[in-house]
Amino acid sequence: MTPAELKNAVRAAVAASVDNGELAVAVPDEVGVERPKVKDHGDYATNIALQLAKPAGLPPRRVAELLATRLRESDGIDSVEIAGPGFLNIRLSGDALGQVAKQVLIAGASYGTNDRFAGESVNLEFVSANPTGPIHIGGVRWAAVGDALARLLQASGAKVTREYYFNDHGGQIDRFARSLLAAARKEPSPEDGYGGAYVDEIAQRVTEQVPDVLEQHDPQEVFRERGVALMFEEIKASLHDFGVDFDVYFHENALHESGAVERAVARLRALGHIYEKDGAVWLRTTEFGDDKDRVVIKSDGDPAYISGDLAYYLDKRERGFDRVVIMLGADHHGYIGRMMAMCAAFGDTPGVNLEILIGQLVNLVRDGEPLKMSKRAGTVITLEDLVEAIGVDAARYALARSSADSQLDIDLDAWSRQTSDNPVWYVQYAATRAASVLRNAGDLGFTVDHDADLSLLTHPRENDLLLALAEFPAVVATAAELREPHRVARYLEEKVAKSAQRFWDDCQVLPKGDAPAEPTTAPRLLLWKATRTVLENGLGMLGVTAPERM
């Protein structure tokens, strides 16, 4: 019996009591069932009686008694106790819990998927770093978290498009081009230009592609075009090596060249949210909660930066996305007000059609001191610096295991150590132990038998592990719904890997030496297979590998 099935049973008990006239309440759509912190409180607990007591006009314990009586008659429930103010503590029968392992095997790679976002089309935009340098550490957090979120939403039934906004229109590109030109001429970088060894590298490569570039009549334009292209290819390659690939790379230039900006402004004008002042064109965002109105077309006739955002949002909606999600760094949180106002100005619902997630800053720490210098990028710490220090798996896991709402320090020494103070190793170690049991079983001629007698899984360690595996689909759904992939990482560490390690220690699976198989051999093997499946699926959602051996 899974938690979802148990919820249905509890809800059915409520419905039955209502039908019978014992409870005068509306049957809730969803009832909560949780794992109690204290083991004595059973396998699962629900506070539904406390919640229904007030509307029913009955004491909580009286409601609890009514529900307990009915629940005790349900299949798969061993006992129901009323505790404290009116909690229902539920214990499952051994076989009902054991069936979870079998269900994991049957579902296989799809175990953990759910239909929370079925039928929804979601556009996730993240990283979107400017092609003026290697991808910096701020963008890396979203590379890991955003990609994990994409996987979680997909696992929850959504149709997800990963999108990267290629900011190739504004003045920072000109500064980059001037920096490349200066480097090629062996001159110092301009005051407002870009520094770092990579500028010299890119300038060098452009010069190799176009040997006479400095003799051309507009060399800066050559450096701009080719330098940006090279930089962008490099960014794509680093992200690919990091396990992150985008479905759409969208060019800001396209919005300006196609007339999309003008169309977006015209649309807003028709809706009555545009006015002119001081020779510029303004969007009345204050009408929708922003703290000041925003210039859309500058007095010199050039579109302001936000006009690209207007057109880009409209374009995404016209491409059919129900939800447009944008993930930004903490230094961009000031955009939320104007973006949400813009969304409302188009007649959409902020928070539903447009969602903006803010990730706080990440520091790389070595010897207790924040890293300040990068080999290639000067004072900007890059994706390469991180991966070089601790590897892709540790990097992705370290970034994905903490809430994006909090600033994060990544201790490079701890995460590069191949010991137990490195959380990703702990989870991967559990996964390799599962693999090794299955491998050794195969060598001994045992196969995983789907018809194994799961009622023999009565050891407390087995019980705990089964309960942990049963939680997975709900963890995935919650993580997707709250946009918090770190819940999956914590679950894998604290619930699955922990329970699996304890199971390993206390429950020998394979017979020793030449001894014949024990009755528990087959069900335990099946439990290991289910555990391996959950660890693989869970790590997979974070973009981390589950090795066969370490």
Partner RNA sequence: GCGCCCAUAGCUCAGCUGGAUAGAGCAGCCGCCUUCUAAGCGGCAGGUCGCAGGUUCGACCCCUGCUGGGCGCGCCA
Q: Which of residues 484-523 bind RNA (CB under 7 A)?
A: 484, 486-487, 490, 493-494, 498, 501-502, 504-510, 512-513
**267 DSSP assignment:** H
**Separation between Cα atoms, residue 536 and residue 256, nearest integer Å:** 44
We find the least distance from the C-beta atom of residue 48 to RNA, in angstroms, to be: 10
Best CA proximity match to 313, nearest among 334, 344, 286, 280: 344
How many helices and strands, by DSSP H and E, does the chain display? 20, 14
**Separation between Cα atoms, residue 359 and residue 105, nearest integer Å:** 36
We find the least distance from the C-beta atom of residue 103 to RNA, in angstroms, to be: 20
Residues 172-231 that bind RNA (CB under 7 A): 172
Angle at 168 between CA 164 and CA 170, to 5 degrees: 130
**What is the CB neighbour count within 10 angstroms for residue 416?**
14
Residues 387-416 that bind RNA (CB under 7 A): 401-403, 405-409, 411
Residue choice 117, 346, 429, 446 for contact with RNA (CB under 7 A): 429
Torsion, CA 479, CA 309, CA 173, CA 197, rounded to 10: -10
Q: Which stretch binds RNA (CB under 7 A): 18-26, 219-227, 296-304, 316-324?
A: 296-304
**Residue 240 CB partners (closer than 8 Å, separation 6+):** none
**What is the CB neighbour count within 10 angstroms for residue 349?**
10
Q: Which stretch binds RNA (CB under 7 A): 96-104, 167-175, 207-215, 387-395?
A: 167-175
Residue 278 interacting with RNA (CB under 7 A): yes
Residue choice 110, 209, 216, 299 for contact with RNA (CB under 7 A): 299
User: Is residue 32 classed as helix, strand or coil in its secondary structure?
Assistant: coil
Report yes or no: 247 and 163 within 8 Å, Cβ to Cβ. Answer: yes
We find the least distance from the C-beta atom of residue 214 to RNA, in angstroms, to be: 26
Residue choice 19, 331, 388, 449 for contact with RNA (CB under 7 A): 331
We find the least distance from the C-beta atom of residue 209 to RNA, in angstroms, to be: 25
Residue choice 177, 437, 522, 534 for contact with RNA (CB under 7 A): 437
Total residues binding RNA (CB under 7 A): 92
Residues 531-550 that bind RNA (CB under 7 A): 549-550
Report yes or no: 548 and 435 within 8 Å, Cβ to Cβ. Answer: yes
Residues 234-273 that bind RNA (CB under 7 A): none
We find the least distance from the C-beta atom of residue 167 to RNA, in angstroms, to be: 6
We find the least distance from the C-beta atom of residue 361 to RNA, in angstroms, to be: 5
Report yes or no: 90 and 79 within 8 Å, Cβ to Cβ. Answer: yes
Q: Using CB under 7 A as the criterion, what x/- string covers residues 46-65 for binding RNA?
A: -x--xx--------------
Residues 118-147 that bind RNA (CB under 7 A): 130
CA-to-CA dists, residue 269 to 279, 486, 506, 528, angstroms: 16, 42, 71, 62
Residue choice 188, 279, 351, 460 for contact with RNA (CB under 7 A): 279
Strand order in the sheet with 274-277: 274-277, 280-283, 294-297
Residues 5-44 that bind RNA (CB under 7 A): 32, 34-38, 40-41
Residues 54-113 that bind RNA (CB under 7 A): 83-85, 87, 89
